[in-house]
Chain A
Amino acid sequence: GAVVSQHPSRVICKSGTSVKIECRSLDFQATTMFWYRQFPKQSLMLMATSNEGSKATYEQGVEKDKFLINHASLTLSTLTVTSAHPEDSSFYICSAKDPRGNTEAFFGQGTRLTVV
């Protein structure tokens, strides 16, 4: 079964509104989670590293005020797309690694965001 759960799987929102995406580690505590974005027919691009108890680290070119990341507990990170625009429509996916020595990075199911 899934060890990283992401919700919602699909969301449609109006331009100008905000959308929150949740990423939960189910079987382990994750001090670090990663958020990726994938446009159609493209690869996954790292947006930011979510750090429990501290500020997220954003990749170059990613607006931190637009993509708010909160990692308030060891099992939950949230990504909020604020004032969404149609160009924010994309597939957002999170991942986390079990710190107990497992090398695999587990991914959530992904969220397909459509801004209309």
Chain B
Amino acid sequence: AQKITQTQPGMFVQEKEAVTLDCTYDTSDQSYGLFWYKQPSSGEMIFLIYQGSYDEQNATEGRYSLNFQKARKSANLVISASQLGDSAMYFCAPERGDTGRRALTFGSGTRLQVQP
């Protein structure tokens, strides 16, 4: 089974500062996608950012960026200029399975709390 490790169960960050959330995974797939989702207390899953394993550049989406190191199977999420609304659970989720039917496997998550 695919194993995803998010070593930080909880993180605190001051408003306006940057924070890095760690994620490592194992996969035998040569081509795969790597997602990060945010889950506020409402339970909805909010897509943040996607990295394809063959993308040469690290993905960026607004204040979110990925520090993707394929050889190390690491895809850390960097949130810049943290806002109070960023307080939530964050999940790293590599894809698995056959192309076209790839399910996501979620890590244990990191609870981020942004302090004023």
Partner of A110, one of B43, B91, B101, B106: B43
Complex contacts, A32 vs chain B, CB 8 Å: 100-101
Which residue numbers of B lie inside 8 Å of A, CB to CB?
33, 35, 37, 43-45, 47, 50, 52, 91, 97, 100-109
Q: How far is the CA of A107 from the CA of B42 in the complex (A)?
A: 13
A67 interfacial by beta-carbon distance below 8 Å: no
A12 to chain B, nearest CB (A): 16
Complex contacts, A42 vs chain B, CB 8 Å: 108
Task: Determine whether the beta carbon of A104 is less than 8 Å from that of B50.
Answer: yes
Beyond A43-B91, A44-B91, whether A34 also contacts B47 by CB under 8 A is no
Residues of A30-86 contacting chain B, CB below 8 A: 32, 34, 36, 38, 42-46, 49, 51
B52 to chain A, nearest CB (A): 7
Task: Determine whether the beta carbon of B43 is less than 8 Å from that of A109.
Answer: yes
Could you list 9 A-B pairs, sorted by A, with CB under 8 Å? A34-B103, A34-B104, A43-B91, A43-B108, A44-B91, A46-B103, A103-B33, A104-B35, A106-B47
A113 interfacial by beta-carbon distance below 8 Å: no
Partner of A43, one of B33, B44, B50, B107: B107
Task: Determine whether the beta carbon of A43 is less than 8 Å from that of B109.
Answer: yes
Q: Which of A36, A97, A105, A107 has the most CB of B within 10 A?
A: A105
